[in-house]
Amino acid sequence: MKKQIAILGSTGSIGTQALQVIGEHPDQYEAYVLTAGNRVEELIRQARQFMPEAVVIANEAKYPRLKEALADLPIKVYAGEEALCQIVQEAPIDMVLTAMVGYAGLRPTMNALRARKAIALANKETLVVAGELINELARVNGTPILPVDSEHSAVFQCLTGEVGNPIEKVILTASGGPFRTFTREQLETVTKEQALRHPNWSMGAKITIDSATMMNKGFEVIEAKWLFGVRPDQIEVVVHPQSVIHSMVQFEDGAVKAQLGMPDMRLPIQYAFSYPDRLHASFPRLDFATCTSLTFEQPDTRRFRNLALAYEALHQGGNMPCIVNAANEVCVAAFLADRVSFLGMSDAIEQAMQRVSFVARPSYEDYVETDRMARRVTEEILTKHT
């Protein structure tokens, strides 16, 4: 039986690469559901190529175009956020790849867990915002969460076969982004065009900016706590500009295991799909004849304050990571619209952390209210400074 996969966010960077993996293994996988936020033309192309059972476009205004374009095919067509949350519960689905960007991925992921669907998690914000809630849902429903982020996939791979062996430390590697060597003075004037030019990875705009500010790494630290059950002081970040070592695990005997490979997201996507098996892949191989230097540095949290703010949010717990995520989403959108400077994003996030009400043990409703409030407060902060 082929594994039936629902891809939430199929037109984004992760989604399109997941479809490449499915296309490479048509005997193993089928795309059962494809969803997109706004990119209706790309979704139409994907639907005609992969012939899913259903497609969903979140933007309801794009529904007529999608419906008309697929009228000659036996594909169910839906629109809206509610349809997105309901489609993941379809009985034939074996796995849900959550590749939507940001907070929007939370509700569909919760519904998929309730329906006992295996989760291939590429939407790190889901665990950042509501890690405790998601972990409890996964536990109650006996549902696996398989990491797709290259760093968390690397840790996951290092832990395979290590059941019962305590982790001393998880070491997440970071490329350092395009501004790794910039001074604070240089960072004051960087542009979105510069920030969108990542040296190693091809990603969507939001995650590329998060990588440049190192908020992406901060979110990965929070995600690692929930995925691997480690304390904040057991999670270390090391800057590794070559992006060859994707992350490492140190055990209590001092041994360090690392997962290496080319910077290619198709590998962790395929591993999440195939786990515990490994399937042949045509992806490029690591060539040690050309890869002759691997270097490591400590991250500078004075220049890249978002990493320090994420650690602070993790230590505080409660709804603080939710506040940081919402404030960051607003700030990244503002930066891409030339409404805030690169360093100004950290200032606004820090102010939002101080102004939005802290809830120590939040419910789902608390998270919803926190997200709404943090976005409003951050917009006020940005408007005041423009």
Can you give the C-alpha Rg of the chain in angstroms? 20
> Is 362 in contact with 369 (CB distance < 8 Å)?
no
Mean predicted confidence (pLDDT) in 78-92 = 96
Pairing of strands 245-251, 167-174: antiparallel
In this predicted model, what pLDDT tens digit does every residue of 302-350 receive, in sequence order?
999 999 999 999 999 999 999 999 999 999 999 999 999 999 999 999 9
- Topology agreement, domain 3-147 and domain 317-386: no
pLDDT tier for residue 280 given thresholds of 50, 70 and 90: very high
Please report, rounded to a whole number, the percentage of residues in the chain having pLDDT higher than 90. 91
**The token pair that represents 291 in the structure block:** 């890869």
- State in Å, rounded, how far the first CA of the chain is from the last one: 57
**The token pair that represents 99 in the structure block:** 């590749």
Strands (E), the chain: 3-8, 29-36, 54-57, 76-79, 95-98, 118-121, 145-147, 167-174, 235-239, 245-251, 256-260
Closest CA to 203 of 264, 272, 251: 264
- Decide: helix, strand or coil at residue 352: helix
- Cα–Cα separations (whole angstroms), residue 112 to 136, 137, 208: 13, 10, 27
* CATH code for the domain defined by 3-147: 3.40.50.720
In eight-state DSSP terms, residue 37 is: S
Mean predicted confidence (pLDDT) in 8-27 = 96
> Domain 317-386: which topology?
Rna Polymerase Sigma Factor; Chain: A (1.10.1740)
Of 86-95, 176-185, 193-202, least confident by mean pLDDT is 193-202
The count of other CB atoms within 10 Å of the CB of residue 275 is 16
Distance, CA of 81 to chain centre: 19
In eight-state DSSP terms, residue 72 is: T
In this predicted model, what pLDDT tens digit does every residue of 196-242 receive, in sequence order?
987 666 677 888 899 999 999 999 999 999 999 999 999 999 999 99
In this predicted model, what pLDDT tens digit does every residue of 121-159 receive, in sequence order?
998 889 999 999 999 999 999 999 999 999 999 999 999
In this predicted model, what pLDDT tens digit does every residue of 33-60 receive, in sequence order?
999 999 999 999 999 999 999 999 999 9
Name the residue ranges covered by the structural domains of the chain.
3-147, 150-305, 317-386
Q: If you count them, how many residues does the chain have?
A: 386
Distance, CA of 15 to chain centre: 12
**The token pair that represents 169 in the structure block:** 């430390």
